Structure 1
Amino acid sequence: MKNRRKDPSASFRAIARLGLVALAVIGGGGVALSLNGGSQPEEAKHVPPALHDVAATPGKQSLVLAGGCFWGVQGAFQHVAGVVSATAGYAGGSASTATYEMTETGQTGHAEAVEIVYNPKQVTYGQLLQIFFSVVHDPTQVDQQGPDVGKQYRSAIFPLNDEQAKVASDYIAQLGKEGAFGRPIATSIEVGKTFYRAEAYHQDYVYNNPSQPYVYIYEQPKIEALKRLFPEQYRERPVLVADQAR
């Protein structure tokens, strides 16, 4: 998938030649993607909030999530009010393999992930998980998100402590019991994993490349779904990695 997704010069014709162009329908019913092969992804939906949450503490808190291409995960959370930063990176493997080229082999244990730093006085861990499961990705797809296939695109939560792990586990069980999705949730909870920051050219990619075909088809709809389903938590101006470096 490397040349199709990561090459900013990719064209719709090149994507179509690979048989991976999707029909993106953006509207009241969410986003529907039709792919050649594989199961139809779940549409964006407002899933129930978590019954339990992480206790708020003074200062900032963090969480690490993986839900397919880190461009879209980062891009969506950058528009959530209360998020202080969202950084693209890798989690699940070792420091020696925390590069894009190695992660793309699918053999490193890494997933494309995003580290989210947030203000718990404005948004909670549970609310961020609700957004993650509602609009950021399809948690029922196994080692895949849309056209991207491989363990590096798996749905995963990387808890930073026992409390985060318990809340995440309880929430997945809750959504399963309530039948929030038409298929079983495939999200894994992977404890004790370190997050490694991705290369600079991956940061703020959705913001910097809104008309890139992959971004336009697969990533921008996540932001639109966030705005539509969580208007009270949506902010128009994203918090960018580039702004923090100044």
Structure 2
Amino acid sequence: MTASSIKELGLAAALALGAALTATYSSAEEGRAIPAPTLDEPAGAGLETITLAGGCFWGVQGVFQHVAGVAAAVSGYEGGEQRTASYQQVSGGDTGHAESVRVTFDPKKVSLGHILQVYFSVAHDPTELNRQGPDHGTQYRSAIFPTTPEQAKVAKAYVAQLSAARAFDAAIVTTIEQGRAFYPAEAYHQDFLTQNPTYPYIATNDLPKVAALKRLMPDLYRAKPVLVASAAGD
């Protein structure tokens, strides 16, 4: 199939293509069935946010935009200072920032535990240290940035649970980093997966993750993604 013919398929068919590609790529793209957390937050009132880092933010954002109960997923940078929160500087790997996604969700529709289950199961490979797939550097590290002590407690307990259960073939290297500020990425990085489904990097590394979400967690999957552009009224 040529690139031009793939482009005519649109996002829905591109996701189907991602499912077909899944068998070809690594376990990070294939996803992994893992147990839900035994410790979770109670469903509180109002929306909640947590920031998650796991490689290039295009794929992480694309996955969470397809999770039912997520109100917004914004690509950005967290872990460093505001003055270095730009793609050009973060790409150097020495700013302390990680490419991250701020996930805003309704805990009455999707719990923090399920958000973390998606994160560990299909959004990235938590056993890769300072890398993810073809991307290398501390800016691609696996990291959770909680916004509350309760989030940190649930995240730490889940890492311990998955480690004890030997849910992965190698040790989980995910860090839990509190007290950091999130800085949204440049506009051209937002909604990148949805807007560029035939981009080779997306087709190879990220569409299979969305397909894995649909396959492994059908109750959490929604076909229509929640987009940053739509939330902004564009």
Normalising by structure 2, report the TM-score.
0.89
> Which residue in 2 is equivalent to 1:202?
189
Distance (Å, rounded) in 2 between the aligned partners of 1:28 and 1:194: 38
> Which residue in 2 is equivalent to 1:112?
99
Q: Quick check: 2:59–2:209 contact (8 Å CA) kept in 1?
A: yes
Distance 1:26-1:245 versus aligned 2 partners, 3 A rule = closer
Distance 1:125-1:111 versus aligned 2 partners, 3 A rule = same
C-alpha deviation, 1:31, in angstroms = 4.9
Indicate yes or no: 2:66 matched with 1:79. Answer: yes
Query: What amino acid sits opposite 1:209 in the alignment?
Result: N
Structure 2 runs not aligned, ≥5 long? 4-16
> Which runs of at least 4 in structure 1 moved beyond 4 Å after TM superposition?
25-32, 40-43
Give the counterpart of 1:143 among 127, 130, 155: 130
C-alpha deviation, 1:228, in angstroms = 0.3
Per-residue deviation, residues 70-112 of structure 1 (Å, max 9, x unmatched): 0000000000000000000000000000000000000000000
Per-residue deviation, residues 104-158 of structure 1 (Å, max 9, x unmatched): 0000000000000011110010000001000000000000000000000000000
> Which residue in 1 is equivalent to 2:211?
224
Indicate yes or no: 2:161 matched with 1:174. Answer: yes
> Which residue in 1 is equivalent to 2:108?
121
CA RMSD of aligned residues (A): 1.9
Distance (Å, rounded) in 2 between the aligned partners of 1:205 and 1:219: 11
Q: Quick check: 1:32–1:41 contact (8 Å CA) kept in 2?
A: no
Per-residue deviation, residues 31-60 of structure 1 (Å, max 9, x unmatched): 5536xxxxx858411111001112222111
Counterpart secondary structure, 1:114: strand
Distance 1:29-1:138 versus aligned 2 partners, 3 A rule = same
Q: Quick check: 2:22–2:29 contact (8 Å CA) kept in 1?
A: no
Indicate yes or no: 2:202 matched with 1:215. Answer: yes
> Which residue in 1 is equivalent to 2:149?
162
Q: Quick check: 2:19–2:207 contact (8 Å CA) kept in 1?
A: no
Structure 1 runs not aligned, ≥5 long? 1-10, 12-24, 35-39
Normalising by structure 1, report the TM-score.
0.85
Distance (Å, rounded) in 2 between the aligned partners of 1:202 and 1:167: 30
Distance (Å, rounded) in 2 between the aligned partners of 1:144 and 1:102: 17
Give the counterpart of 1:243 among 213, 220, 230: 230
